[in-house]
Amino acid sequence: MKIFNQDRLTQLPHGILFDTDNTLYHYDPAHLAARKAVRAKITRTLSVSGDDFDRAYSDARQQIKTRLGATASSHNRLLYLQRMLEIMGLGSQVLLALDFEQTYWRTFLSHATLFDGVKNLLDEIRLLGIPTAVVTDLTAQIQFRKIVYFGLDQYFDYIVTSEEAGFDKPHEAPFRIAVDKLRPEGDRIWMIGDNPINDISGARDKISAITLQKLHEGVKVGSGEHQPDASFETFSELSQLLGRLAAHRRTP
């Protein structure tokens, strides 16, 4: 663990917020496997080339994101696939779109694995009596499914999705709703996430959170205005930090 602002990490937090995607588990391998499965199914079902799929899907994704902006629906794979079919000249094809979306998420979840130490850390947080909340982008339905799939539904006190908040991070709304739900006994809130802008800068700027960035392959530590208060590679490092702070609290 690297601590960049030592004076901000001298006491236990009053509450902890967690990002989900690419923080509790490695997002890229699951996404790549899911996209590959959908690509194979669509090229086989519709008798189109892989290049045709790639172009239509990329155009559809960009159009949806441009139209919807920083909202939960802008991440919706069902909308991407519906628009992709329309771009291919096939109309909305509701049944096909639903089938392809189910293929994506079924494959995604089967390839998503929690990082080592996540559940141990959450157990320790619970024993310390610190309330927790998930603050995540995307729609509630799929994010709830992920939490249940990982067996984390009994570990977190609350969850806030960008669908509930109306905005993706780094907008203030998701962070503020999460803190309001937690009703912490003080203002010392930790935010644990991977994205230096959405998670780190967003939480620090909007709710003055103490920020800890999860690093792994494909994630670089934020710099300048996006630098976290601390960075870590394994969740055991966070467990050790909490242990030290808890011991300090008990010291006369």
pTM of this prediction?
0.94
Q: How many angstroms separate the most distant Cα atoms in the chain?
A: 73
Which residues, at least 6 apart from 141, have a Cβ–Cβ distance to it below 8 Å? none
Q: Which of 14, 29, 12, 23 is nearest to 169 (CA)?
A: 23
Place of tokens 């603050």: 135
pLDDT at 252: 46
72-89 pLDDT, tens per residue? Answer: 999 999 999 999 999 999
Phi, psi of 6 (to 5 degrees): -60, -35
Tell me: the pLDDT tens digits for 26-47? 999 999 999 999 999 999 999 9
Residue 68 has which token pair?
Answer: 């919807």
User: In the prediction, which pLDDT does 248 show?
Assistant: 79
Contact 245, 237 (CB under 8 A): no
Total residues found in the chain within this entry: 252
Return the pLDDT at 250. Answer: 62
In the three-class reduction of DSSP (H, G, I as helix; E, B as strand; rest coil), residue 226 is classed as: helix
Low pLDDT (below 70) residues in the chain: 250-252
